[in-house]
Every structure is written in C-alpha cells, then in structure tokens.
Amino acid sequence: MRTDYIIVSEYCEKCHIDPAFIDLLDEGGLIDLMEIDHESYLPIAQLKDVEQYTRMYYDLSINMEGIDAIHHLLKRIEALQEEIFDLKARLRLYE
C-alpha cells in the first residue's frame, strides 16, 4: 500500500466534500490526480492546496474561476519573492 497518496472518495467522505469538486480541481489543472484500478488518488503533497481550495470554495463561496485566478496570483507572488531573495543575495556580494 502506498502511503504518499490518499483515496479521493475516502478523503471526501471524511471531510464532507463533494467528490465532483475534487474532479473540478483536477480538470482545471489545479491538482493532479492519479487513477489506479478505477479509483482516484490524491498525492499527499497536494493536500495543503486542496484544503486551501476547499476553504475558498465552501467557506468563502469563491467559484472555480476565482480559485484559478487566486492560484495563479499566489504562484506569481512566490516567484517574485524568490526573485527578491536572489537579488538581495547578489547585492550582498557588493557590500
């Protein structure tokens, strides 16, 4: 048994989430599900993202297009923060 994946149906049952929502995330490219023997599996590494998207969708009533836009903005912010960190490190060479 693989421990780096969660069965989507069991996760949805325990968290009271509609499995169709997880399918929408997969179809939208926000997560990557793996299918084995007609069962969908969610990588544990993406669990944090799924929980974040779930809060946006169910608690904040943000639609899938909004979640996608927020996802891209957050990725862009991370990239910019990394770039700032790298630039600061390069500037320290000249101090």
- The fold of 5-92 is Multidrug-efflux Transporter Regulator; Chain: A; Domain 2 (1.10.1660)
| Count of C-beta atoms within a 10 Å radius of residue 47 | 13
User: What global pTM score does this model have?
Assistant: 0.82
Q: How far is CA 81 from CA 49, 58, 70, 84, 89, in A?
A: 19, 29, 16, 5, 12
Residue 55 structure tokens: 């809060």
| Count of C-beta atoms within a 10 Å radius of residue 40 | 19
Contact of 9 with 19, CB cutoff 8 Å: yes
The per-residue pLDDT for 52 is 95
Kindly report, residue by residue over 33-65, the tens digit of the pLDDT. Answer: 999 889 999 999 999 999 999 999 999 999 999
Distance CA 32, CA 49 (A): 11
